[in-house]
Structure 1
Amino acid sequence: MRYMMSYDLMETVRNANQWLGATALSMASYPAYAAVPNPMLSWVAAWGQVTERSFERMVAKPDWGIHDTTLADGRDHLVEIDTVVEKPFGDLIHFRVTDRPEQPRKVLVVAPMSGHYATLLRSTVKSLIENCEVYVTDWHNARDIPVSAGKFDVEDYTLYLVDFMRELGPECHVVAVCQPAPLTLAATAYLAAEEPKAQPSSLTLIGGPVDPDATPTDVTDFGHRVTMGQLEQTMIQRVGFKYKGVGRAVYPGLLQLSSFMSMNMERHSKAFSDQIMRVCRGEATDHDAHNRFYDEYLAVMDMPAEFYLSTVERVFKNREIAKNEFTVEGKHVDIGKITDVAVKTVEGAKDDISAPGQCIAALDLCTGLPDSKKASHVEPDAGHYGIFAGRAWRNNIRPLVIEFMDANARDKPTRGTKPVRTAAK
Structure 2
Amino acid sequence: MRLMATYDFMETMRNTNQWLGATAQAVGSYPGVAMMPNPAFQWLRAWGEVTERAFERMVVKPDWGIGSVVGEDGRDHLVDIVTEVERPFGNLIHFKVQSRKQMKRRVLVVSPMSGHYATLARSTVISLLPDCDVYVTDWHNARDIPLSDGKFDIEDYTLYLVDFMKHLGPNTHVIAICQPAPLALAATAYLAEEDPKAQPRSLTLIGGPIDPDATPTEVTDFGNRVTMGQLEHSMIQRVGYKYKGVGRKVYPGLLQLSSFIAMNIDRHATAFADQIHRAAKGESSDHDRHNKFYDEYLAVMDMTAEFYLSTVERIFKGLEIAKNEFTVAGKKVDIGKITDVAVKTVEGEDDDISAPGQCVAALALCTGLPDSKKAHHLEPGAGHYGIFAGKSWRTNIRPLVLDFIDQNSGPRVVGGKDSRGSRNAGEGDNDAPFKGGAVPV
TM-score by length of 2: 0.94
Cα deviation 1:202-252 (Å, max 9, x = unaligned)? 000000000000000000000001000000000000000010000000000
Mapping 1:235-274, distance limit 5 Å: 235-274=235-274
By how many angstroms is 1:363 displaced? 0.1
2:427 corresponds to which residue? none
Within 2, Cα distance between the matches of 1:321 and 1:395? 31
1:331 corresponds to which residue? 331
Within 2, Cα distance between the matches of 1:345 and 1:319? 18
Cα deviation 1:139-168 (Å, max 9, x = unaligned)? 000000000000000000000000000100
Mapping 1:383-402, distance limit 5 Å: 383-402=383-402
Within 2, Cα distance between the matches of 1:413 and 1:144? 40
Moved over 6 A (4+): none
1:139 aligns with 2:128: no
1:363 corresponds to which residue? 363
Within 2, Cα distance between the matches of 1:98 and 1:229? 51
1:317 corresponds to which residue? 317
Cα deviation 1:70-114 (Å, max 9, x = unaligned)? 122221110000000000000000001101011120000000000
**Does structure 2 conserve the Cα–Cα contact (< 8 Å) formed by 1:253 and 1:303?**
yes
Within 1, Cα distance between the matches of 2:25 and 2:197? 60
2:435 corresponds to which residue? none
SS in structure 2 at match of 1:274: helix
1:33 corresponds to which residue? 33
Within 1, Cα distance between the matches of 2:8 and 2:35? 42
Q: For this pair of structures, how many residues does the alignment match?
A: 419
Within 2, Cα distance between the matches of 1:302 and 1:219? 19
Within 2, Cα distance between the matches of 1:276 and 1:207? 34
**Shift in CA distance, 356/278, structure 1 to aligned 2, threshold 3 Å:** same
SS in structure 1 at match of 2:411: coil
**Does structure 2 conserve the Cα–Cα contact (< 8 Å) formed by 1:170 and 1:410?**
no
Cα deviation 1:237-285 (Å, max 9, x = unaligned)? 0000010000000000000000000000000000000000000011111
Mapping 1:6-405, distance limit 5 Å: 6-405=6-405
By how many angstroms is 1:34 displaced? 1.3
**Does structure 1 conserve the Cα–Cα contact (< 8 Å) formed by 2:257 and 2:298?**
yes
Unmatched 5+ stretches in structure 1: 420-425
By how many angstroms is 1:58 displaced? 0.2
Select between 37-46 and 313-322 the one with higher mean Cα deviation.
Answer: 37-46
SS in structure 1 at match of 2:91: strand
Within 2, Cα distance between the matches of 1:281 and 1:311? 46
SS in structure 2 at match of 1:393: helix
Within 2, Cα distance between the matches of 1:405 and 1:252? 37
By how many angstroms is 1:37 displaced? 2.2
1:423 corresponds to which residue? none
Within 2, Cα distance between the matches of 1:235 and 1:273? 29
**Does structure 2 conserve the Cα–Cα contact (< 8 Å) formed by 1:123 and 1:389?**
yes
Letter of the aligned partner of 2:207 in structure 1?
A: G
2:4 corresponds to which residue? 4
Within 1, Cα distance between the matches of 2:409 and 2:58? 41
Letter of the aligned partner of 1:66 in structure 2?
A: I
SS in structure 2 at match of 1:215: coil
Within 1, Cα distance between the matches of 2:13 and 2:421? 48
2:433 corresponds to which residue? none
Within 2, Cα distance between the matches of 1:266 and 1:234? 24
Within 2, Cα distance between the matches of 1:371 and 1:384? 26
Within 1, Cα distance between the matches of 2:203 and 2:95? 20
**Does structure 1 conserve the Cα–Cα contact (< 8 Å) formed by 2:71 and 2:100?**
no
Within 1, Cα distance between the matches of 2:320 and 2:248? 27
1:422 corresponds to which residue? none
Within 2, Cα distance between the matches of 1:95 and 1:254? 29
Identity of aligned residues (%): 73
Q: CA RMSD in A?
A: 0.8
By how many angstroms is 1:418 displaced? 6.0
SS in structure 1 at match of 2:358: coil
SS in structure 1 at match of 2:409: coil
By how many angstroms is 1:51 displaced? 0.1
Letter of the aligned partner of 1:405 in structure 2?
A: I
SS in structure 2 at match of 1:291: helix
By how many angstroms is 1:29 displaced? 1.2
By how many angstroms is 1:365 displaced? 0.2
By how many angstroms is 1:381 displaced? 1.2
Within 2, Cα distance between the matches of 1:148 and 1:78? 38
